[in-house]
Chains A and B, each alone.
Chain A
Amino acid sequence: TQLLEQSPQFLSIQEGENLTVYCNSSSVFSSLQWYRQEPGEGPVLLVTVVTGGEVKKLKRLTFQFGDARKDSSLHITAAQPGDTGLYLCAGPPSAGNMLTFGGGTRLMVKP
């Protein structure tokens, strides 16, 4: 079973601070996706990283895929209260088309 572990599980910071969320596995993934989920809603796809070492930027969010394609990180610069939510990483296992999800990081940004 290919597992994805996210850290930290919970993060509470002040508006304007920077933060990094990690997604790690002992297995290689062909791609990793990052989602953001708000209470009562479904996960919303933020980005897909495919190539080892790839870096993608989405406004204040920077996503990186590890060289060995076993890990990924999400860095948020100057966090805002609107960034509050559950951040999930997910990837397709070697066999199958479904997604394996990490446990998520609950981020709270206080004004």
Chain B
Amino acid sequence: NAGVMQNPRHLVRRRGQEARLRCSPMKGHSHVYWYRQLPEEGLKFMVYLQKENIIDESGMPKERFSAEFPKEGPSILRIQQVVRGDSAAYFCASSLGTGGNNEQFFGPGTRLTVL
């Protein structure tokens, strides 16, 4: 049973370019979460999605950031017109359901470097 998969593992972009980060949840999981980890900081929640729906995007910047989880295919976190401050590790997690006891399993992350 494959775990959460993310690609690419490393992504380098120049300022102003777009970054697309992909996440395939664990088999059977329909809940996906994106978190960002800035250097020397903890993980911060960005967005929570179910298939074809954004459930909670309270942690995601209003501009330049968007996320989707289509009916078919991986979840995608898209960052337009990247700036140096977007350099971070972006982690995707998935869970089987919801509720306080539902465990989230994390992927290996995508490390974005903006030059």
Contacts and interface: CB of A to CB of B under 8 A. Distances in A.
**A interface, by DSSP: helix, strand, loop or mixed?**
loop
A41 B109 contact: yes
Interface string A33-54: 1010000111111001010000
Contact of B42 (A45, A50, A98, A102): A102
A97 B106 contact: no
Interface in B1-20: 4, 6
A97 B99 contact: yes
A48 to B, nearest CB: 6
A48 B31 contact: no
A110 to B, nearest CB: 22
Contacts of A104: 42
Interface residues of B, number: 31
B43 A98 contact: no
Nearest to A100: B45
Interface of B: 4, 6, 31, 33, 35, 41-45, 48, 55-56, 58-59, 91, 93, 95, 98-109, 111
